[in-house]
Amino acid sequence: MFFRAFVSLVAAGAVMTVSAQPVMAQDNPVVVLETSMGNITIELFPEQAPISVENFLGYVDAEHYDGTIFHRVIPDFMVQGGRFLPSMQGKQTGDPIKNEAENGLKNDEYTVAMARTNAVDSATDQFFINAATNDFLNNGVRDFGYAVFGRVTDGMDVVDAIEATPTDNSVPRTPVIIQSARRQ
């Protein structure tokens, strides 16, 4: 497994922080979400999260995400989508998948993870983009955790704009629509 270390020095006190993320591999799948607020490009990590990536790509290839919305938006936390139409009617899903939260990937800002219920192995079509580093969602911090399977490589400004969208009970007042999701 290849890792790129990102090292940042903080001048006051010369504190060093190191975090590891997978290096973008030439053969890693890439998906572009064309949204009503702009495009988001997501690199997927099939080596670390094969079940989650296969599941997500299955929904992408079936055009399941087309016309769905980001239905749950919480500032400084995440933006979630994948199942609901603007009418809040949910689309039919496939079977739940095994949770791969033990894969070593962390819920860092702009990573993409599978949403689930309180049941560990309950993820289907819903995913979320972390709008902040959410360590408490990592495996073993408070529970089994949420499986990261990709990261945003372009369109962070779009994620930020979605995160800033006015909401009522975390639902955007103006629907943020995923117009299409396609492999690049």
For 103-138, how does the pLDDT look when each residue is reduced to its tens digit (9 = 90+)?
999 999 999 999 999 999 999 999 999 999 999 999
pLDDT at site 90:
97
Residue 16 lies in a domain: no
pTM: 0.87
CATH number at residue 40: 2.40.100.10
Q: Is residue 157 part of a domain?
A: yes
Domain carrying residue 90: 25-183
How far is Cα of residue 90 from the mean position of the Cα atoms in its chain?
19
Q: Which residues, other chains included, contact 170 with Cβ-Cβ below 8 Å and sequence gap of 6+?
A: 72, 73, 74
- 147, 158 contact by CB (below 8 A): no
Do the domain assignments include residue 18? no
Judged against a pLDDT cut of 80, whether residue 16 lies above it is answered with no
Indicate if the pLDDT at residue 19 is higher than 70.
no
Whether 15 maps to a domain, the answer reads: no
Number of domains in the chain: 1
> Has residue 121 been placed in a domain?
yes
Q: What confidence score (pLDDT) does residue 26 get?
A: 75
Q: What is the mean pLDDT of the chain?
A: 90
Check pLDDT > 70 for residue 67.
yes
Q: How many CB atoms lie within 10 A of CB 175?
A: 17
48: number of Cβ within 10 Å: 18
Helix (H, G, I), strand (E, B) or coil at 53: helix
Residue 124, in any domain of the structure? yes
**For 95-101, what is the mean pLDDT?**
98
CA dihedral 24→131→137→72, nearest 10 degrees, is -120
Q: What percent of the chain has pLDDT over 90?
A: 86
31 found inside a domain: yes
Number of residues in the chain: 184
Are the CB atoms for 16 and 41 separated by under 8 Å? no
* Backbone phi and psi for residue 160, each to the nearest 5 degrees, phi listed first: -60, -40
